[in-house]
Amino acid sequence: MGRILLVGRLAVRDLRRRRIEAALLLLAIMAATTTLTLGLVLRDAASDPYQSTREATNGPDVVASVAPYPSELPDDPAELVLDQPARLSGLEELASAPGVIDHSGPYPVTAAELQTSGRTSDVQAVGRDAAPASVDQPELIQGSWVSDGGVVVEAAFANALDVRVGDPVTLDGRSFEVVGVAVTAAMPPYPESSCFSPTGCVSGATPEELSELPPGLLQSPGLVWLTEADVRSLTTDSDSLSYVMNLKLADPDSAQAFVDAYLPESLDAPGLESWEDILGEATTLARDAQILLMIGAWLLGLLAVASVSVLVGGRMADQTRRVGLLKAVGGTPRLVAAVLLAEYVLVAVVAAAAGLAVGSLTAPLLAESSAGLIGSAGTPPITMSTVGLVTAVALGVAAVATFVPAVRAASTSTVHALADSARPPRRTGWLIAISARLPVPLLLALRVAARRPRRIVLGVVSIAIAVSGIFVALVLNAFLTTQPPAGYDAAQVELLRQVLLIVMVILLSLAAVNAIFITWATVLDNRHSSALARALGATPREVSAALAAAQVLPALVGAILGAFPGGFALFHAINAITGGDSDRPTLPPLWQLLALVAGTVLVVALLTTIPARLGARRPVAEILQAELA
């Protein structure tokens, strides 16, 4: 039999014998891989509506625009160019640039104030021809295209204002009728619309912030289309108009290279925006959700390492005699280690495949499509880079958690492994002196904890990770409540809350499973010493309380570390990764932090009580007869 086949058959056989543990291992790693897959493919799923809109409207590859005068004055007044024909000539040169196969425009753009049903909003009005354009012809959702006295409203903007076809509106005091609602791929949907105003635009500013900004700024402007004549009638100075032109390239994938090649060399040169940039702005919500998912994925990955480490430690202890048998029949330490590692590698590969499948199928459910785009999010294609990264993370979790225990088990002597005698407890003088005067449950709990210090560290770390995640969730929830991201409506904020909730539920579930794993492994490791304690007079209730207390004390330490230094550190790490401008988080109230610590300890106590009581119910005589002292 070949070595690889032998290792595979032994690994599969052992997994089949311990199906529950294998399933728990699979779920622990799968939680991390599913969340990681969601984070990697979410923006690809969210880009589908924009791509559909781009096809339906024959969207531009590059959008070029000029303002009537530069927003920033040069140091030398002689360099200031206010000649409108000269600025329009720059657009005309782009229309005949190499690689450009078609264009529409230039179209005049002016800023105006729209009023409807008692609501007022800044808008950018674009003048268009009544005839369809070959590049960027907005797709009508309702009504008809522009006509004299008629205005077409961008769909997301119309949805925000609750405007429908037939409604009357005023632009700078002039009356118009809404004749249509349309979508476009030449500009991100409201409220992420591009800014063509020479005075500039701002989104999400409070009244206090607006008072400190220069006058003339448009606040979260929407987009409307009028006839060119109607746009020109909104201003008395034709030289104050901006202009926009849509370009079609022979190679759409070279749009960004085209933009880079024609970067403005002077203040009066046209500004350019590629369709990739517009796509990025149109999927801002997906980007924010992606950040939350990626944070959750790495936290879950760390918790998965702790889960697998505990399970591996318990299984390695049960497999000591099996290791001795393998070595006794000629297996080398390398072969034994390969057999032990192969089990977890197989589980990791299956978990990676399941995580990729579930994550890609779930992504469309979290990709909220804007009202300003056509269609909905589809199932994103899984690229080789995504497969490679998710698989590498799954294998990394398995390898980090199992490598050292597997090597240690493989290096155990054959005679010792076959004997499989109980490991004598460590005798620590200072610990015995401290615990001697404590109540029986605490005395036993301290000695149980001291016997497996690495497992205690794993318990502290897993609780600290979970509590740090909850701390950040409380901070982000408070931020979404008091200061939602600029331009986000209630539905978009709710979607971010749902993503946050999903990550936290998985995080808490895995932390709870960790607590149960650690307690059960502790029960199995201490069954002989617990039986001796009961034989010497300890009651089953005292023994079960001791086993539970051995987990509660580390949980208290982990909760304190996670709620304060851990939560702050995680927040600042997120802030640094995302480029946030808030150095100090808006802290939850003190009572919430105290409740978080107390609640964590209480939940861990409840979770660990059941396995501890189950372990303490086994008859003392049966345990002592089965175990060697």
- pLDDT single digits (tens) 556-614: 888 888 877 877 777 777 766 655 555 555 667 778 788 888 888 888 888 888 777 77
Per residue in 144-202, pLDDT tens?
A: 999 988 999 998 888 888 888 988 999 988 899 999 999 998 888 887 777 776 666 76
CA-CA-CA-CA torsion for 298, 304, 306, 312, nearest 10 degrees?
Answer: -150
Per residue in 34-51, pLDDT tens?
A: 888 888 887 777 777 888
Report whether pLDDT(78) > 50.
no
Taking all residues of the chain, what is their mean pLDDT, rounded to a whole number? 78
pLDDT band at 291 (very low <50, low <70, confident <90, very high): confident
Residue 518 CB partners (closer than 8 Å, separation 6+): 310, 455, 458, 459, 462, 551
Report whether pLDDT(333) > 90.
no
Q: How far apart are CA 404 and CA 478, in angstroms?
A: 42
pLDDT band at 71 (very low <50, low <70, confident <90, very high): very low
Winning range, highest mean pLDDT, from 204-208, 227-231, 381-385, 401-405: 227-231
Report whether pLDDT(77) > 50.
no
Q: 150 or 518: whose pLDDT is higher? A: 150
pLDDT band at 353 (very low <50, low <70, confident <90, very high): very high
Cα of 24 vs its chain's centroid, Å: 24
What pLDDT, on a 0 to 100 scale, did the predictor assign at position 628? 47
What pLDDT, on a 0 to 100 scale, did the predictor assign at position 331? 63
Q: How far apart are CA 457 and CA 558, in angstroms?
A: 9
For the ranges 101-110, 177-186, 257-266, 270-279, the lowest mean pLDDT is seen at 257-266
For the ranges 227-236, 398-407, 437-446, the lowest mean pLDDT is seen at 398-407
- The 10 Å CB-count burial string (b at 16+, else e) for 56-95 is bbbbbbbbbbbbbbbeeeeeeeeeeeeebeebeebbeebb
pTM of the model: 0.69
Winning range, highest mean pLDDT, from 350-359, 476-485, 581-590: 350-359
For the ranges 155-169, 340-354, 368-382, 507-521, the lowest mean pLDDT is seen at 368-382
| CA dist 506 → 195, 304, 322, 353, 465 (Å) | 40, 11, 35, 19, 13
Of 511, 27, 30, 504, the residue nearest 296 (C-alpha): 504
In one-letter notation, the amino acid at residue 325 is: L
Winning range, highest mean pLDDT, from 170-179, 381-390, 392-401, 537-546: 170-179
Q: 98 or 531: whose pLDDT is higher? A: 98
What pLDDT, on a 0 to 100 scale, did the predictor assign at position 209? 57
